[in-house]
Amino acid sequence: MSKLYKLAIIGFGNVGQGFTKILADKYELLNERFGVDIRIVAVCDLYKGSIADPDGLDPNMLISSIELDGNLKSMDAKNVGWNAEETIAKSGADILIELAYTDLKTGEPALSNVKQALRNSMHVSMTNKGPVALAFPELRDIATKNNV
């Protein structure tokens, strides 16, 4: 039996799309070799739209939608239009993939997204260095307190 991991992706630019393509291409390998079922349950992007489905979104359809329309607005999903805060709170994801824009002085909005996810007992993976550079002790404490 595979271990299910539900992902929410905040930010769906080149990195988010590339990550999604890799997950689509390597899904069977990851399942067979490591016994993991990795599903994207939410994608939220300020410009491309926001969709969520607790049963998972087809990664190939996510990429196709971007390639055809430049956004996610034509995709069918149980939930649409959530902002980042709602996506983190309501998606049911186990892991936040944080790829949003980061202001170099404040770490925002990524810093708030990471804090919220950690407080909601979600693991976090991010490409942004800003939140860690500006608030590592606080993030570590929140993660430790929530066992993530």
Burial 130-147 (b: 16+ CB within 10 A, else e): bbeebbeeebeebbeeee
Is residue 131 within 8 Å of 117, Cβ to Cβ? no
pLDDT, position 74:
87
This prediction has a pTM of 0.95
Residue 60 has pLDDT above 90, yes or no: yes
* Residue type for position 4: L
Residue 1 has pLDDT above 90, yes or no: no
Per-residue model confidence as pLDDT tens digits over 20-30: 999 999 999 99
Residue 147: CB partners within 8 Å, gap ≥ 6? 121
